Amino acid sequence: MKIPRINNLFNKEKKHRVFDGKLVYGLEKNNINYFIDVGANFGQTALEIIKWGYEGEIVSIEPVLECHNYISSLSKNYKNWTILDRMAVGDFNGSTNINVSEASDLSSILNPTELLNNSYSNVKKKHTENVDIFKIDSIKIFDEIQDKNIFLKIDAQGYDYKVLKGAKKLIKRLSGIMIEASLEPLYDNQETYFEIIKFLHDLGMKPHMISERSFSRRSKQQLQVDLVYFRK
């Protein structure tokens, strides 16, 4: 009997073996056709769910200028992908500063804690950008959504809970949510996974998937997870 090589079994990318493929299974199961992408960065999540078969609308929000310019151009190749004007989202309307890190996906409105600084060498701030900030509930396009099953993805580097607090109206209409959660605070005044999980359960959401987000070889510990929940 020929024994299959283990490397071939596990290196081959299949939908049920990768995070974004599993996420799309959840989107399909719950008939999601409107995906709000908060903290789009360079469009990684949008591109991955499209790759694995998601065909609904995607609306992305990104505050960092370089990233926003990039996805504004990239999205023109995809008919169902919309990029809103450059903005941040949180729990108030106004303006704020965002610390742009050497690694763009670590950029945040909040300052990093000692743990995050010790965990990654590229968290160092390159510069600061001023950007308008809004509650999601203040963004008109989301009030106009009709007959859609809405999914909200939040990746706001420590500001995730603040995004939830500014989305009280939208949350009532959500069919599902994905949010980044830290096991310990990585940014000043950041809520951890415990507060976020309690918030989601209080909303009547049911866990669909919890997946490793980031592990630091420097500090030798798990730092973040992605939580995916759907309405019960």
CATH number at residue 191: 3.40.50.150
Task: Answer whether residue 213 is part of any domain.
Answer: yes
pLDDT in tens, 1-54: 444 444 444 556 788 889 999 999 999 999 999 999 999 999 999 999 999 999
Residue 221 is assigned to a structural domain of this protein: yes
Does some domain include residue 54? yes
In a domain, 159, yes or no: yes
Q: Which domain holds residue 56?
A: 22-231
Q: Is residue 13 part of a domain?
A: no
Residue 9 lies in a domain: no
Q: Which of 6-10, 116-120, 222-226 has the lowest mean pLDDT?
A: 6-10
% the chain with pLDDT above 90: 82
- The answer to whether residue 3 is domain-embedded is no
Over residues 96-113, the pLDDT tens digits come to 999 999 988 899 999 999
pLDDT digits (tens, 9 = 90+) for 149-202: 999 999 999 999 999 999 999 999 999 999 999 999 999 999 989 999 999 999
Asked whether residue 174 is assigned to any structural domain, the reply reads: yes
Three-state secondary structure readout of the chain:
CCCCCHHHHHHCCCHHHCHHHHHHHHHHHCCCCEEEEECCCCCHHHHHHHHCCCCCEEEEECCCHHHHHHHHHHHHHCCCEEECCCCEECCCCEEEEEEEECCHHHCECCCECHHHHHHCHHHCEEEEEEEEEECHHHCHHHHCCCCCCEEEEECCCCCHHHHHHCCHHHHCCEEEEEEEEECCCCECCCCCHHHHHHHHHHCCEEEEEEEEEEEECCCCEEEEEEEEEEEC
The pTM for the full model equals: 0.92
Q: By mean pLDDT, which of 28-42, 65-79, 207-221 is the weakest?
A: 207-221
Q: What domain count does the chain have?
A: 1
